[in-house]
Structure 1
Amino acid sequence: MDLLKVYNNYLYVSIQWLTRQGIGRNTINNWTKRNLLSTIRLSGSTFIPYDHIPDSTKSKLPSKDEILSIIENQKVISISEEYYNKMYSAYEKGFIKYLEHYQDIVNNDEKALRYAKLHAVWVVVMEIYDEFISVRKRPKLRELHEAFSKIYPGKYVYVRMSQTIKSIKENGIENNVIDHRGGRKPVFGPVHKKWVLDAVSSGKAYYSPFIYEKVCELCREHGYKTPSDSWVKNYISKVSPIVYPTRYGIDKGIGQLPYAGIIRATNPGDQWQIDGWRLPFYMEKYKTLTLFAVMDACSGRIVGYHIDFSENTETILKGLEHAAQTTNTLPLEILADNHSFNKTEEAEYFKGKIEKMGSRWTVSENPRYKSLIERSFGTFGTKFCKPMYGYIGEGIRTRRTNGRTVQELVDKYTKAGTFLTEEQIKLIAIQLVNEYNIKVCKTGQSPIDAYQALENKGIPIDKIGRMKLFIQPIPYTVRQGQINIKRENVVHEFQLNKDQYLILNNKKVNVRYVDFDQIYLFDLKNDRLIGCVPKKRYAHGAYANQTEEDIEILNKNKGRINGIKTAFKRQQAELARQAEAIDPEAAYAMNAKLTPKNIIEEFKENGMLAQEAARLGVNLDYVTNIPVFSEVQTYGKDEKKSRKRRESPMLATEKEIREFDINKYLNEDE
């Protein structure tokens, strides 16, 4: 608590300070009773103006100047304490950000720690100093020196510290922190480190003697000091972790990273994991086949697969199609590695389709995320493939002593006439996949039993859905009621039925097909199924060669044509009914527009035209009228009905009977 204060340029002393100076309470109370002084409350304490104290009492107290000096000293101590707290915090905690920098420079942990702490303290000193300079105030150097000396006693005298601040302003903190006395070892900076880092990052994994040799060559060429062999070795050890993936491969680099514990999918259909694996059997010319498998991540069941010479786009899509066909579902997620398939147009189409259906395609370079199928291939090879004829081992990269078949046995498998054929390897793989799925595991269930025991949470998909997903559509235009597909110089014709013809003729549709027995038509815009079209059937034209089947084909074609014609008439009549319902007069207005004029009547009524005709020798009295009729060829709503009534008068209505004019028919007979 401050017992002495300067307030409004007046010196005040507290009653508590007076009592400490030996002034009794009764004396102070008497001053108050005699109105010799006034009091004020500051910071919860009662203060008395120093000038109001009676002279007899002042003689027992320090002088006014002495008290003012005491107050000033208290301020200095307070400021110094504040600076000390900031510096000490930097000394204890703030040094960490500078530690690595000094470790790289001095290669001595003890020195690096000492330099880092001193650097952190100097940062605080310079911040306080610059704060005063920025507002054009004189820095409190004495308080800074006192606070600094509490942490580093005797390091600087007051004058030397002022000089050091100026030096830091010119050369930076680091130059003043490092002790340059007694000769300094060469410091190998970023250039040397970059050379070492570049060499270490090479996928050839060079040894340290080779790297040291190359660094020395570069130092001579560019005029740098040559580091020692031990410095290069130490720095190689230091930077190896940051270039591990490029030096030893991505897979091994991932193996150096922390990993999360992965729990299997909860239900069938939650996730499929896909991958390819080389089957360990040789064919002629030492060729091998690849098994592409689709595994349910919950049960471990192989729900689909395909076998081919490589894990290409076609193999992947056929394996996925087999899985969708086997389960009649799509999973909520398909987990794949970063295969080149992901960059193909087929992959973009497939991923776009499954996303719209509610599934997703996930790519992960980390094998731990699909460790289930990775481990399963190992089990598949050692437990199921190994007992089979022709097994050649796990490959040249395996580290297991029992992972390879002895060369003598491999030689027996690869003699002329002893190689397995492509068909034999496929049969072996089919059998082994089946055995894998029904083999009872440690859980007491086989993968297929575990799959069937739980509810499948996948997305249902039928034959048409699979076709949309795995077969890309090809646009065709319907011509003459059929679609022609040419493959290998053979034209396959597919003829639409009457209803399809009426809607699709001369229009473009998307076509998908599995074989050439029938094709499926889809809408161009929304890919909605329109219908299927069987392959066109042919009939013998020669009567002598015709069978009942040929006659049936011809009759059906005739019926199709008649049906199309009838449908056209009905469509025209329906449109006529709709138009007449809106405006009966306007509905048939086009008839008059398309009916030619009888110009004979115009010549008879127009004298100028008649005179011109006479000039050319035309006698209008002997010219018959030009026959005129409407060019409109559409069917009206009552045309068929009226024709039947003309043929059968018994069908006439009462109105028609009342309005019947026999002269009309007599004129027609003429």
Structure 2
Amino acid sequence: MKLFQEDVLVSVDEVVALCSGISHKTIYESIRRYNTGRSKSWANIPDNEDLRKRLIIYSSIPATTKIKFNAPSVDDLIKRVDILDKESKYIQIESAKKQLYIEIEYCLTSAIDKGYIKFMPKYSALKQESRERVVKLACEHAFKAACVELNARRSKIKLKDIFAVQKDMPYNWVYKSYDKFVEAHKKWRTQGINNIHGGFGKPKPHLTKVTDYVKALIEKYYKHPNQYTIDQITDLVNSEIEKKKLKTIDRSSVSRYVNKPENKNRLMMYRNSEYFDSKVMPIVRRKDIKMAGDLYYADGTPLQIPCWNESMTKEIRLNLFAVIDVKTKKIVGFDLAESEDRYNVLSAIKMAFDLERIVPFELKYDNASATKTEEFKALKDMLELKGCRFTPTQKGNPKEKSQVERLFGSFQSKYQRMIDGFMGEGIRSSRPNGRINADFVNRLRSKNNLYTYESMVVIVTNLIHIYNQTKTHLATSPSEQFEKCEKLRANKIDPSDIAMLFWKHKTIKASRGEVSTTIRHTTYHYTIWDNELKLRLSGQSVKMYYDECDLSTVHLFSEKGEYLCECRQATMVHEGQAGQTADDVKTLIKVSKHAESIKTTVKKQTAKIRAVGMEEDGDDFLNMLSPYSVQKEKYNNAEGNMLIEYVLDKKNINRDMIREYNPVNTEREDHEKNVKTSRNKRSPFSAKNHQISVLEIDDIL
């Protein structure tokens, strides 16, 4: 419906709506009649918005039709159109206003959600306490900047519209008062937006309680190793500053100062060095060991199972000193003793080297007093010659050897627990099953239930074997891993190396093809069976390495450290035939054969050297000069001839009776004898001569 010259233009559908019961067909027929000139009612004009439609002038509709179909009058319809126009305009205005508010809200929300990022560096540089705080301040700054930009960019957007939108936003920085918003907006527009947190205030020294002097006092007492409490520090500081008539401080001031991270971490180096080392000091991140034998760890721990000492006079807990391979976690060596002394340490290392016959690339050990002994230092020096690096762990830093510490914890909680008498994991354990029932422990610690020393050694040995053979759900057992893993950087050793590294030694003189020594008032003899070595060492000093626990074998080294040979203890026989046994007879034959073999060796070496001379001079090499002939020829001169003539004349010696004697040629005789012997070679120790079965020397040895 539209107003038209104090009238109203209505469409066909609107007429149908106004005249209840009239049909479209009737209206269209009336319009056609008017358009063909057959009627003056139902006047109409084309619709400018849609030329296919016709708009009817409402006053031209017959009054009878209006009455019949209960249609409103023209005046009533005009009033209705006015109301509809006003409503339409109001809706349009409200729609435009709503659209504007939506646009304002979108701009403000976008600034808060996305535009805040460009202000982040500004507030991040102010060292706020958290990232959330920085984001919050940057969002507020972006909001205020968006308010200024909206008002300046579009003059149609008034401050009251911006205020109306922002006051309903869910943020604590929005303005609820229009006057305050206008005032703040004016400052933003003319003076710029300052830092949101307002941190430009000037310090007021006269109001500061925690001055530099007070800070020094706080630190002085906070650093004390007694680790005074905050209350104690507050009292001590106040006691000192009261003497200077300064203002006292409260507990919270002290607490805030010492709990600042930069102060706490710095002062902990004096107050609690363990905390400082574990929380502040940097560490080196290390990769896993790639091969077995690259690194061994050695450390000791007391067992949690009591037992008797060796003399069964008192209850003790044996000390387990273990050597583990870091790659495979296998216990390669261990020893049990009443205390962690040098014998305990050296025995465990000896087992590790003796069983596996390799020395690791590096061995890390605990920095204990046993490692300061001369024996350990000597072992360290000798192992460095074998390519093994001995490295002490840092004092007070158990994490440096954390693998062996974890192994001891697992060995306690899992394997020692198998044995009755296990006392638990210690008083520091906080696990529910870390402690054993006290009554049960006391019952097992009675004298009748304590294990003997020997039994405990066997039990722990079996437990270690079980540990080495136990497979986990992720990998094979430590023993299998150690066996299969490559050991490219570990150096192989042999029994002679074990002897040099761990056995005791003496410097003695070899004689008659053997070495002799007295240990614990008993004399032991050891035979050197190698003939060439026997000839080389007879009458010479050598170093003899021996194990007091097993004196059946010794190892000989030169004084310069060169390995010579292994010697077995000589077998003694009865002096008279009455007490001799078959074994004694075999020993006598062996010694006799060995004695002859020495001569044979001498002859072979001599013939070998003689052959070199004969190769150069032929058979003439066997001719020997006489020293007398050589000297006589050397000094054959006139004076000598005169002297001879004078003596012959004085003694009336007939010159025809003088004969020349050739010297005895022992070299030719020995050569001819050896040639003859080689042609008719026959053993002097045949079965016929001795009436016993022939025994080869290798079998006897």
TM bin, normalised by shorter chain, reads 0.5 to 0.7
The correspondence of residues 413-562 of structure 1 with structure 2, limited to 5 A, is: 413-443=444-474, 445-451=476-482, 454-455=485-486, 457=488, 459=490, 461-464=492-495, 467=498, 470-471=501-502, 474-480=505-511, 481-497=513-529, 498-514=531-547, 515-525=550-560, 527=562, 529-562=563-596
The aligned amino acid for 1:521 is L
Residues 645, 349 of structure 1: alpha-carbon distance in 2 compared, 3 angstrom cutoff? closer
Q: Which residue of 1 aligns with 2:428?
A: 397
Residues 178, 419 of structure 1: alpha-carbon distance in 2 compared, 3 angstrom cutoff? same
CA deviation string 1:253-307 (max 9, x = no partner): 3365455665543444443333222210112434101222233333333333222
Report the CA distance between 1:412 and its aligned residue: 1.5
Given candidates 204, 214, 221, the residue that maps to 1:196 is 221
Please tell me whether residue 640 in structure 1 is matched to residue 670 in structure 2. Answer: yes
Report the CA distance between 1:385 and its aligned residue: 1.7
Q: Which residue of 2 aligns with 1:282?
A: 306
Report the CA distance between 1:586 and its aligned residue: 11
Q: Which residue of 2 aligns with 1:108?
A: none
Given candidates 312, 321, 324, the residue that maps to 1:295 is 324
Distance in structure 2 (CA, Å) of the matches to 1:591 and 1:95:
111
Residues 646, 594 of structure 1: alpha-carbon distance in 2 compared, 3 angstrom cutoff? farther
Distance in structure 1 (CA, Å) of the matches to 2:241 and 2:373:
48
Quick check: 1:276–1:290 contact (8 Å CA) kept in 2? yes
The aligned amino acid for 2:221 is V
Distance in structure 1 (CA, Å) of the matches to 2:521 and 2:609:
44
Please tell me whether residue 307 in structure 1 is matched to residue 320 in structure 2. Answer: no
Q: Secondary structure at the match of 1:521?
A: strand
Q: Which residue of 2 aligns with 1:592?
A: 627
The worse-fitting range, judged by mean Cα deviation, of 421-430 and 180-189 is: 180-189
Distance in structure 2 (CA, Å) of the matches to 1:466 and 1:525:
15
Quick check: 1:478–1:507 contact (8 Å CA) kept in 2? yes
Residues 583, 437 of structure 1: alpha-carbon distance in 2 compared, 3 angstrom cutoff? closer
Q: Which residue of 2 aligns with 1:665?
A: none
The aligned amino acid for 1:273 is Y
Q: Secondary structure at the match of 1:533?
A: strand
Given candidates 289, 311, 323, the residue that maps to 1:265 is 289
Report the CA distance between 1:646 and its aligned residue: 12
The aligned amino acid for 2:213 is F
Residues 610, 333 of structure 1: alpha-carbon distance in 2 compared, 3 angstrom cutoff? closer
Q: Secondary structure at the match of 2:213?
A: coil
Quick check: 1:330–1:458 contact (8 Å CA) kept in 2? no
User: Please, what is the CA RMSD of the aligned residues?
Assistant: 5.4
Q: Secondary structure at the match of 2:515?
A: strand
Residues 512, 645 of structure 1: alpha-carbon distance in 2 compared, 3 angstrom cutoff? closer
Residues 94, 581 of structure 1: alpha-carbon distance in 2 compared, 3 angstrom cutoff? farther
Report the CA distance between 1:378 and its aligned residue: 1.8
Report the CA distance between 1:389 and its aligned residue: 0.9
Residues 603, 593 of structure 1: alpha-carbon distance in 2 compared, 3 angstrom cutoff? closer
Distance in structure 2 (CA, Å) of the matches to 1:539 and 1:329:
40
CA deviation string 1:215-260 (max 9, x = no partner): 8999999x99998675776676576534646655648833654556
CA deviation string 1:544-597 (max 9, x = no partner): 223343344334434444444554466556656656877999999985169999
The aligned amino acid for 1:532 is E
Residues 183, 552 of structure 1: alpha-carbon distance in 2 compared, 3 angstrom cutoff? closer
Quick check: 1:475–1:508 contact (8 Å CA) kept in 2? no
Quick check: 1:354–1:469 contact (8 Å CA) kept in 2? no
Q: Secondary structure at the match of 2:536?
A: helix
The aligned amino acid for 1:474 is H
Distance in structure 1 (CA, Å) of the matches to 2:572 and 2:643:
65
Quick check: 1:510–1:523 contact (8 Å CA) kept in 2? yes
CA deviation string 1:487-538 (max 9, x = no partner): 11112111212332112222233333442112122344464x4221111121
Q: Secondary structure at the match of 2:467?
A: helix
Q: Secondary structure at the match of 1:386?
A: helix
The aligned amino acid for 1:495 is T
Please tell me whether residue 253 in structure 1 is matched to residue 277 in structure 2. Answer: yes
Distance in structure 2 (CA, Å) of the matches to 1:181 and 1:218:
19
Please tell me whether residue 375 in structure 1 is matched to residue 406 in structure 2. Answer: yes
Distance in structure 1 (CA, Å) of the matches to 2:247 and 2:521:
74
Quick check: 2:382–2:501 contact (8 Å CA) kept in 1? no
Distance in structure 1 (CA, Å) of the matches to 2:674 and 2:409:
83
TM-score, length basis structure 1: 0.55
Q: Which residue of 1 aligns with 2:347?
A: 318
Distance in structure 1 (CA, Å) of the matches to 2:614 and 2:675:
21
Please tell me whether residue 388 in structure 1 is matched to residue 419 in structure 2. Answer: yes
The worse-fitting range, judged by mean Cα deviation, of 470-479 and 298-307 is: 470-479
Report the CA distance between 1:391 and its aligned residue: 1.0
Q: Which residue of 2 aligns with 1:67?
A: none
Q: Secondary structure at the match of 1:419?
A: coil
The aligned amino acid for 1:546 is Q
Quick check: 1:269–1:330 contact (8 Å CA) kept in 2? yes
Q: Secondary structure at the match of 2:535?
A: helix
The aligned amino acid for 2:556 is L
Quick check: 1:330–1:461 contact (8 Å CA) kept in 2? yes
CA deviation string 1:599-656 (max 9, x = no partner): xxx9996499979x99xxxx7879x99x9998x9x963x2313568999xxxxxxxxx
The correspondence of residues 7-22 of structure 1 with structure 2, limited to 5 A, is: none
Q: Using the aligned pairs only, state the percent identity.
A: 22
Residues 411, 645 of structure 1: alpha-carbon distance in 2 compared, 3 angstrom cutoff? closer
TM-score, length basis structure 2: 0.53
The aligned amino acid for 1:459 is A
Distance in structure 2 (CA, Å) of the matches to 1:534 and 1:334:
33
Quick check: 2:505–2:546 contact (8 Å CA) kept in 1? no
Distance in structure 1 (CA, Å) of the matches to 2:233 and 2:629:
97
Given candidates 359, 362, 367, the residue that maps to 1:338 is 367
The aligned amino acid for 2:307 is M
